[in-house]
Chains A and B, each alone.
Chain A
Amino acid sequence: MLALNKLTKHFKAVKAVQEVSFSVDKGEIFGLLGANGAGKTTTLRMLATMLTPTGGTASIEGLDLLKDPDKVRSHIGLLFGGDAGLYDRLTARENIIYFARLCGKSGEEAGKRAESLAQAFAFTEYLDFPAKKLSKGTRQKIALARCIVHDPAVMLFDEPMVGLDVTSRKDVEDFMVLLKEQGKTIILSDHNLNITERLCDRIGILHKGELVALGTLNELCETNGCKDLEEVFFKLAGRDSE
């Protein structure tokens, strides 16, 4: 469970995120949409405790973001797209074990977890390969495994499918559905409207740091008199909204 209450972030004169409030339940995928610079990544970075909010707050699994940042981090998993952010000279196994250890797992636990995640994501044969020698799709699988190595309740995905081929994208989609079925709380920030439509239970649209729409796909279409998400997006956050 995750709840944002008037979460705000200003960078000097720039109002990156402005009093954003919404909540995401267990077993729900929440889509966060917005043009570049709308405040999606800043919101996710605040939830991941990398940035301190200028105003408002948020709670993750009942823990306040501002009061318990260290404990909050133990309940979240964060995955970026584009580049998987792996250590190239370490093997897949070492990458996963390193993050497991930094999340408090013992060496033995971390090793077992790396094995089981490799089986789950079907990259066992690449476990002892240096990350730099692996394909982009496999690297992203390892990054996924790494971000759930400590079994977090809340998952934050920031454009996780950027640069992936069709098969790898399908793998990531299937994985997100699996996490949802396991009762995880998920926020997905992505520019791909089709994926958002398909995967997300509810959608929030950010525009210039403000949450301009919130609801299910049907609610958003009905409220705005649009036939699909693309029309809603362009009406609220596209050039027409300037």
Chain B
Amino acid sequence: MKSFTGIIFRKELIDIFRDRRSIIITFLLPIVLYPLMFWFIGSQAANEMDGPSATAIAADAKAAAELRAVLNDPIFEEANIFLSENNDPVAELENGNADVAVITDGSVLRLVYDPNKTSSAMSNNHVTVLLSAYNQTAQAKKLAEMGISLSDLAPLSFLSVSLEAETGKEESGAGMFLTMMLPMLLVILLSVGGMPTAVDLFAGEKERRTFEPLLCTGARRTDILSGKLGAVTVMSMLGALASGAGIFAGYMLNPRAMTMGLDDAQGINLPPGMLVLTLLIIMAMAVFFSGLHILLSTYARSIKEASTYGSFVMIASYIPVFASMSKLGKDFDFWTAFVPVMNVTGSLKMVLNGINDMKYMGVTLGITAAFVGVVLVVGRYMFKKENIMLRA
């Protein structure tokens, strides 16, 4: 019997691309919003990393003089510490007019800061680091006058070296921030990307009463399911691609902003086989989430009901994503390859960290494909159940 899948698929895509709201939400918003978001968040962090500064207020002339004498040292030459005097520096700190309050009570210089204010906490850290360095330099100088080296006093000398540096391998990887953020963003985008389309193509058809005439045509229900699943998957993939383009645009605008000011991205060197495997995993994940949204939308009586069910999928997908958010590529044990969604995050992090673990990624692809199979079988079953298809 003739298959009508292609005809349905084509019509659905035409229909979707004429829906301005879907186009704006799926394509335009990510392309515009992601660069803006990364530029805003990232550039703030980058600025703080590039040129930290502190506004300190000393309680009295004594504290001010003590600190000023210290700040004259060359170590503070480019420290950007601005000092002024006020008899109630704590009140000034509370009012947000200062980042650090400097109080002296004899021998100790107390730096008071507000841990609930980022600029205050960072300023305190900035000043503390510089004062420690000043202390260490002063100590080393005094010891040198006595003919003693500071390192001679240390019970242990140590040096922290990366595995790549130690083994002489070329450093690679996308850096810590990108490794943490990109897989999480991609999986979340895939989990929601197909939802508006799935809701429109199934619950929407029920609500608009276009489903019944469609069921009376020569198309079998499996043709209808396949055609629509294809369209939802394409939209999900295109949505993720648009978001990727938005993130890339953000990177092009300000590369340091994308890495939150950390210069640890070395670039990814991906062999062709791994690239294909990665793309297959991403596609399988897109089909899986699309299928899941289709099942829920098929069961729903209305667009509103389908959207409610869809939000459960989004929340459920966040659990494995956030559970592995702080992990890097090598933190994923092999058993996690059997945990759906988390295994995709793990695979992507491995790729971003330059780890080519074919076994882990192969299992991930297999597990994701198996879930796609389950979704399709359930979908076929649901499409044959008249109490579901005509549920109103």
Contacts and interface: CB of A to CB of B under 8 A. Distances in A.
Interface residues on B, range: 20 to 34
A86 B386 contact: no
A70 B218 contact: yes
B157 interface: no
Given A11-B387, A48-B216, A73-B217, A83 B14 contact: no
Most A CB atoms within 10 A — which of B11, B208, B209?
B11
B222 to A, nearest CB: 12
A50 B213 contact: no
Contacts, number: 75
A80 B213 contact: yes
Given A73-B217, A89-B15, A146-B213, A83 B7 contact: no
B277 to A, nearest CB: 37
A101 B7 contact: yes
B216 A90 contact: no
Contact of B216 (A49, A86, A94): A49
B18 interface: yes
Given A50-B386, A89-B19, A90-B14, A102 B218 contact: yes
Contacts of B214: 102
Given A45-B390, A83-B208, A90-B11, A78 B213 contact: yes
A150 B213 CA distance: 13
Nearest to A86: B210
Given A78-B213, A89-B18, A90-B14, A98 B7 contact: yes
A9 B19 CA distance: 39
Contact of A52 (B4, B219, B386): B386
Contact of A102 (B7, B15, B210): B7
A70 B212 contact: no
A26 to B, nearest CB: 20
Contacts of A50: 212, 215-216, 386, 389-390
A55 interface: no
B390 A87 contact: no
A80 B209 contact: yes
Contacts of B18: 89-90, 130
B380 interface: no
Contacts of B216: 48-50, 73, 76, 78
A101 B213 contact: no
B359 interface: no
Contact of B15 (A49, A82, A87): A87
Interface string A98-130: 110111100000000000000000000000001
A48 B386 CA distance: 13
Nearest to B8: A102
Contacts of B219: 102
A74 interface: yes
B2 interface: yes
B210 A70 contact: no
B68 interface: no
Most B CB atoms within 10 A — which of A76, A102, A130?
A102
A147 interface: yes
Nearest to A90: B15
A89 B18 CA distance: 6
B7 A99 contact: no
A76 B390 CA distance: 19
B1 interface: yes
A98 B214 CA distance: 10
Interface in B187-239: 208-210, 212-220
A85 B213 contact: yes
Contacts of B15: 87, 89-90
Contacts of A90: 11, 14-15, 18
A178 interface: no
B218 A104 contact: yes
Contacts of A102: 4, 7-8, 214, 217-219
Most A CB atoms within 10 A — which of B8, B213, B218, B219?
B213
A89 B20 CA distance: 10
A88 B209 CA distance: 11
B209 A104 contact: no
Interface in A23-53: 45, 48-52
B74 to A, nearest CB: 70
Interface string A134-175: 000000000100110010000000000000000000000000
9 contacts: A48-B212, A48-B215, A50-B386, A70-B218, A73-B217, A80-B212, A88-B208, A101-B4, A143-B213
Interface of B: 1-2, 4, 7-8, 11, 14-15, 18-19, 208-210, 212-220, 386-387, 389-390
Given A49-B215, A87-B15, 14 more contacts: A45-B390, A50-B215, A51-B386, A51-B390, A73-B217, A74-B218, A85-B209, A85-B213, A87-B210, A90-B11, A101-B4, A102-B214, A146-B213, A147-B213
List of 10 A-B pairs having minimum Cβ-Cβ separation, nearest first: A102-B217, A89-B18, A85-B209, A78-B216, A85-B210, A101-B7, A102-B219, A48-B216, A103-B218, A83-B209
Interface of A: 11, 45, 48-52, 70, 73-74, 76, 78, 80, 82-83, 85-90, 94, 98-99, 101-104, 130, 143, 146-147, 150
